[in-house]
Amino acid sequence: MGPRVLADRYVLLGELGRGGMGVVWRAEDRVIGRHVAIKELRLPEGAADAGVFAERVLREVRTGGRLNDPAVVTVFDVLSEAGTTFIVMELVEAPTLSDLVRERGPLPAQQVAVIGEQVLSALKAAHDAGIVHRDVKPGNIMVAANGRVKLTDFGIAQAVDDPRLTTSGMLVGSPAFMAPERVSGHEATPASDLWSLGATLFFAAEGIVAFEKSSTAATLHAIVNEVPYLTHTRGPLASAIMGLLAAAPEGRLGAEQTRGLLRAASAGVGQQTPPGGAYTAVHTGPPPTMVTPGAPTGPRRRTPLVVAGVVVVVGLLAGAVFLGRWWGSAAAAPDPATAGQVMTYGRAGDIQSFSDPSSEYCYTELPRTGYSMSSDQRVDCDKPHRTEAIAEAAILGDSVSYDENPPLAAYPGMPRLTAWAQARCQLTFESNKIDKTAEGPLKLYVLVPTEQEWNATPAGSGSPVRSAYCLVARQDGGEMQRPVTGKVK
């Protein structure tokens, strides 16, 4: 008996895999002379409406045809023979992300970040087209040996502008990678896909499924009520993962903030760990984006603040950074269009007098050489002002003591310090913390300490001043009448 042929064109050569929705075959397209993958779809067990299933198949084809991104598997054709539907797709011969982690364990942070960037690109293409994937998970991500990634199986994707189809209240997707709002019965949205991406990156970086329990019910309960621990992951990748896993969609990282963090992680920023496994993490708000070695590996209960999720973004964007002998060997290049004007402060700096700096204040003058950021120029942000501080990035945190000889961390050099501070400020500037429509086009300023200020011994028992400050002003230098961050003192 000869090989099976579909539509007098596609010769089935062998089975590539199978699952609940059917079998995937390797096939040869006789017309073009290329190998393709053909998904033979079968009516799911227990499904009674063949019409709805057939419509979902056609939707997969329409979905694939609408997307144009290197990380999306291309759909070529759809066939129907003897009551069975076949989808002809691009053949991608590569293991899934699930296979890779099962074989190798947790993947390196830079590799996880590169994978995440490509999946994010595919999701953005889908979301821009009004399509929600609804089943982002490791098993639907294929990773080739050259690092190229393909997001597969838009078969249950739902075009948000297509009201014809429903799932009759049935949850569609993989439970362990399903966003909390979907578990609670709400419709899938682009933010839901981003949460699933966060759960997928957690799995890739940690080697375990964040919320998987012994039963589906327990897994869904954990998704809604618990927060997972990161035990291996730190730095920008940790910030990206935990930002994506925020319980409330409105508190979740968006695509652009996520892309910035993943780019920083893929460049190796903040990945080195000092001897003994200890490290200094910058974190400006709950929940924690990373845990120290030896922390419990099980998930913890969500606090009401975590469930609310509204304030999580600002803290998550801080990431982690290591200085002195542990400072990253390379820094991610910030976007020149929004990187911000860099100025120095402290001894021999552009701004020499910088008393009681804080991210909670506004100032009556614009930052400039010779400008004094003192209490005389400080005003409440609901009063007319020209400059608003939007973030303080404590480079070493509050635990630095000058009792050590030599000091804990040497000055990293202006290029590296500037690159880190610009990236940190740009993340805040591009986040949903900033209302860019409040006062018209805004300009970002990035303030970093001079080497003299970095190395200066503080008076008394205080700590050295080693923070970067992010400020905004109107591009035309005019007065702002209200805070762009919504803070009112």
How many other C-beta atoms are found inside a 10 Å radius of the C-beta of residue 257? 24
The closest of 446, 450, 452 to 468, measured between CA atoms, is 446
How many other C-beta atoms are found inside a 10 Å radius of the C-beta of residue 448? 26
Residues in CB range of 106: below 8 A, 6 or more apart: 204, 205, 206, 207, 232
Asked about 135 being catalytic, the answer comes back as: yes
- For residues 23 and 431, give the distance between their C-alpha atoms in angstroms, rounded to a whole number: 43
**Active-site option among 135, 356, 382, 398:** 135
Answer yes or no: are the C-beta atoms of 319 and 238 closer than 8 Å.
Answer: yes
Token pair in block for residue 238: 């940790």
DSSP letter at 44 equals P
- For residues 433 and 428, give the distance between their C-alpha atoms in angstroms, rounded to a whole number: 7
Answer yes or no: are the C-beta atoms of 442 and 460 closer than 8 Å.
Answer: no
Terminal Cα distance for the chain, rounded: 82
How many other C-beta atoms are found inside a 10 Å radius of the C-beta of residue 319? 29
Question: Is the alpha carbon torsion for 201, 204, 208, 209 positive or negative?
Answer: positive
- For residues 154 and 136, give the distance between their C-alpha atoms in angstroms, rounded to a whole number: 9
- What is the b/e burial string over 283-304, where b = at least 16 CB atoms within 10 angstroms of the residue's CB? beeebbbbbeeeeeeebeebee
Which residues lie across from 446 on neighbouring strands? 342, 470
The closest of 433, 423, 105, 429 to 265, measured between CA atoms, is 423
Residues in CB range of 335: below 8 A, 6 or more apart: 426
Phi-psi region of 453 (alpha: psi -120 to 50; beta: other; left: phi over 0): alpha
User: Any binding-site annotation on 39?
Assistant: yes
Find how far residue 277's CA is from the centre of its chain.
25
- For residues 253 and 266, give the distance between their C-alpha atoms in angstroms, rounded to a whole number: 18
Tell me the binding residues. 39
Residue numbers in the known binding site for ATP are 39
Tell me which residues are annotated as active site.
135
